């Protein structure tokens, strides 16, 4: 082996590197990053009130995160924080139960009590809807009313997301270049 080959083996040539695309380093957020819900809480509360008054036999509505935090509630005489936490646990248990039973993902969990009904729907991957129904309604009628409430809340959430995307797009294009 020649001395030139021995030198190359000990000191291989440097690999090419990319040049940075920006001379200014991007700053990272400091501390915990909290993402805001993609919708306005006041608008969501107004939507819940409207749905509750629009659908007969629905006595209350609650929207919670998948981890059990209340986002908005239109209920009376209900511990919203506890119900939201139990709704998250219910959907988690329902997912395990339906998986073991080989029937797919849970679409709802319904409970009938002496004083009425309560059900939990996954609205989307991060949201749950809890619907309360009055005493004296049949299971079938409650199911129809609850699914109507679900459909209305899904449309409201989608509408708010679209509005937010449009507002973000407008603000992005309105920014001066620089």
62-116 per-position pLDDT tens digit: 999 999 999 999 999 999 999 999 999 999 999 999 999 999 999 999 999 999 9
Averaged pLDDT for residues 156-161: 86
Q: Is the pLDDT of residue 127 over 60?
A: yes
- What does the domain layout of the chain look like in residue ranges? 41-165
Average pLDDT, the chain: 84
Q: Look at residue 37 in the predicted model and tell me its pLDDT.
A: 55
Quote the CA–CA distance of 123 and 170 in Å, as a whole number.
Answer: 28
pLDDT of residue 33: 45
Q: Which fold has domain 41-165?
A: Beta-Lactamase (3.30.450)
The whole-angstrom separation of Cα 50 and Cα 72 is 13
Out of 106-120, 126-140, 164-178, least confident range: 164-178
Structural element, H or E, at residue 156: helix 139-174
**157 — pLDDT class (breaks 50, 70, 90):** confident
Percentage of the chain with pLDDT > 70?
Answer: 76
pLDDT digits (tens, 9 = 90+) for 161-173: 888 888 887 777 7
The single residue listed with the structure tokens 């924080």 is 81
Type and span of the H or E element at 64:
strand 58-65
């Amino acid at each position: 082996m020649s001395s030139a080959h021995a030198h190359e083996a000990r000191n291989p040539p440097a690999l090419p590197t990319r040049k940075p695309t920006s001379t200014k380093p991007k700053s990272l957020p400091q501390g915990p990053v909290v993402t805001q819900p993609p919708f306005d809480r006041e608008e969501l509360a107004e939507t819940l009130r409207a749905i509750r008054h629009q659908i007969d036999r629905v006595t209350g509505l609650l929207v919670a995160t998948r981890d059990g935090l209340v986002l908005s509630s239109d209920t009376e005489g209900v511990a919203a924080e506890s119900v939201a936490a139990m709704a998250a646990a219910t959907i988690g248990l329902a997912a395990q139960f339906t998986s073991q039973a080989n029937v797919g993902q849970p679409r709802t969990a319904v409970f009938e009590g002496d004083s009425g009904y309560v059900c939990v729907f996954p609205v989307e991957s991060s949201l749950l809807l809890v619907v309360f129904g009055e005493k004296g309604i049949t299971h079938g009628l409650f199911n129809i009313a609850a699914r109507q409430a679900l459909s209305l809340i899904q449309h409201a959430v989608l509408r708010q997301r679209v509005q937010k995307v449009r507002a973000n797009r407008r603000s992005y294009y309105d920014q001066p270049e620089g």
